[in-house]
Every structure is written in C-alpha cells, then in structure tokens.
Amino acid sequence: MSSNISPTTWGKYQLVWGQQTHIMGIINVTPDSFSGDGLYTSDETVVQRAIEQAQRFMRDGATIIDVGGESTRPGGAVLISAEQEVARVIPVIQQLRKELPSSAIISIDTYKAEVAAQALVAGANIVNDTWGLRQDPEIAAVASQHQVPVILMANMRGFRKREIVSDVMRYLAGSIELALQAGIHWEHIILDPGIGFGTTPAEDLTLQRRLGEFRSLGRPILLGTSRKSHIGRILGGLPAGERLEGTAATVVFGIAQGADIVRVHDVREMARVVKMSDALVRGTYMLS
C-alpha cells in the first residue's frame, strides 16, 4: 500500500510513510500495567532493565521506543502526579539517550505538559498523548515549542458516543485543530484511533475493520491493539500474556487497512508479522 503522505522530518530524525510499517516498542515504567510487563519496582534496577529491553527491541526491529510512567489500564489504573511520573520516566529516558544509537527515536507516553517538557529535554523525540491534547491543554504548546511530532489518540472515556467511527473521527479532527492552533506542524501529526480507551469490544472490532476510513484525515495512523482485552475475550478469556496470536491477527489486518505504526509489547514476534505483511500489502521485501 503506497502513501501520498510526506515524510515526517524533525531535527536529524525522519519517519517515511508507505514504504514500511514502523514498530513502536512499549517500555512500561509502571507497577500496574494491564499487560503484566510493568518494569517499575522499588529497587534500583528499573533503569537497567528498561535499557536492556529497549536495546533488545531495537535489535528485533523497533523504530520507536515508547516510554510511559502511568498505567492507562481500564478499570483500576492508579493515577499519579506529574512529579511521580517524572521520577519514573526521566532517569530511563536520560539513560536511553546515552546508550541507544543516536538515530533511535524515543517517545514519551503522557498527557501531562510538565512530564512531556522534561522528557523532551531529557532526550525524547515524540509526544504520545493518550488524550489527544484534551486533558492538559499546555501539552500542545510544549510540543510546538520543541518542534517535535505528536501522536494524537482518541480517548472515548466519558465521551457521549453515538456511532463509534464518526465519534472517533470527530475527536481526532478536533485534536488536529488543537494541534494546528498551537503551532504544531501538519507534518508532525500522527493519529491513533484509541482501541480500548472507552470503547467496547464490539466498537474495538468496528474501529479495526474500518481503520482505513481514518486515512481520510490525511495523517499517518498508529494502531495499538497489542494484548488488548477484546482479544482475550474473543479468544475465550485468555490472559494478557497469552494474546500473541490474537495480536498478530490485528496487526496483519491493520496493515492491510493502512496502519503506518504498530505499538506492540512483543517486538521480536511482531517484527516478523510486520515484515511478512509489508511484503504482501506494500510489496516491500528482500529474499535471502
């Protein structure tokens, strides 16, 4: 699947769209991740474990390393202050910037302006906002000031829904407008339909089936279905750690629908899925 979207370029970094599906590897510096992979503990090994995981992700094919310090799991995530979040993620980002290749792209998964600002100074390159600039309006100014890309996610929690695709479409269009008003460049906007954020399993499936419709907004699409609860429910109540095959199915179908980035926990396995999917969908492959 070709793309008429121009590359996203900032500083010495660039993401080219249409030639390959980019992989975002998840680093959860939290004690309560829904997926069971949270790295945060009370000991001093958390930074080193995050570094080792990120290095493994890069070797396995990740383009972007996404660092988050507050769980967003439905029905039980413990909200923390910006100060607590900073204490979790900044040491990790600082060390990642020192130890990963200079070409590595690091995103900060936060909706708080203060966290985003400190993360960008520490070495992050992208702001991944799970509220699409709606929760903390100042975060848009932070991204604009640093001239970095933003991932705008639709979050239906508390949103009065009517028809899920049009609801998410309106949400994302509004977030795009907020970004542009703040001075964020059009080419720096990436969209995420927010699978599992205030949506039912049926709505999640609808969003995935109709993912291609979001291409009408003119920006690259990130798909985050990895280990999500609707996969577990469809597969008979499987726990998060056993949803690999279900995740793979969503990744394959997502790429066929036009996903440009897939955000995943299992980078090694999903990199193989992405490579085969890109060969089929985009016609990009190398034979050994």
Where is average pLDDT lowest: 39-43, 188-192, 240-244, 267-271? Answer: 39-43
Tell me how far CA of residue 243 lies from CA of 84, 92, 247, in angstroms: 30, 27, 6
Where is average pLDDT lowest: 13-17, 58-62, 67-71? Answer: 67-71
The pair of structure tokens assigned to 211 is 């993912």
Active site residue: 59, 228, 268, 272, which one? 228
What phi-psi label fits residue 123: left (phi over 0), alpha (psi between -120 and 50 degrees) or beta? left
Position 76 scores a pLDDT of 57
Position 92 scores a pLDDT of 96
Q: Residue 268 catalytic?
A: no
Mean pLDDT of 10-21: 97
Mean pLDDT of 190-206: 97
The number of beta carbons lying within 10 Å of the beta carbon of residue 266 is 22
The H or E element that residue 213 is part of is none
Position 31 scores a pLDDT of 78
Mean pLDDT of 40-68: 88
Active site residue: 88, 227, 243, 263, which one? 263
Which of 243, 155, 277 is CA-nearest to residue 207? 155
Choose between 34 and 242: higher pLDDT: 242
Position 36 scores a pLDDT of 46
Position 260 scores a pLDDT of 98
Mean pLDDT of 73-84: 78
Q: Which residues contact 258 (CB under 8 A, 6 or more apart)?
A: 1, 211, 212, 214, 215, 221
Mean pLDDT of 226-248: 96
Q: Which residues contact 231 (CB under 8 A, 6 or more apart)?
A: 225, 238, 243, 246, 247, 250
Q: Residue 263 catalytic?
A: yes
Position 74 scores a pLDDT of 61
Strand partners, 220: none
Is 20-281 assigned to CATH 3.20.20.20?
A: yes
Mode of pairing for the β-strands spanning 150-153 and 189-192: parallel
Tell me how far CA of residue 13 lies from CA of 3, 9, 31, 51, 123, in angstroms: 19, 6, 31, 21, 13
Where along the chain do its domains lie? 20-281
Residue with tokens 């439905």: 74
Tens digits of per-residue pLDDT, 27-52?
999 875 444 444 555 556 889 999 99
Mean pLDDT of the chain: 93
Position 38 scores a pLDDT of 47
227 pLDDT more than 70: yes
**Rounded (5°) CA angle 96-72-132:** 85
Q: What is the pTM of this model?
A: 0.93
Position 112 scores a pLDDT of 98
Position 123 scores a pLDDT of 98
* pLDDT category of residue 2 using cuts at 50, 70 and 90: low
Tens digits of per-residue pLDDT, 146-170?
999 999 999 999 999 999 999 999 9
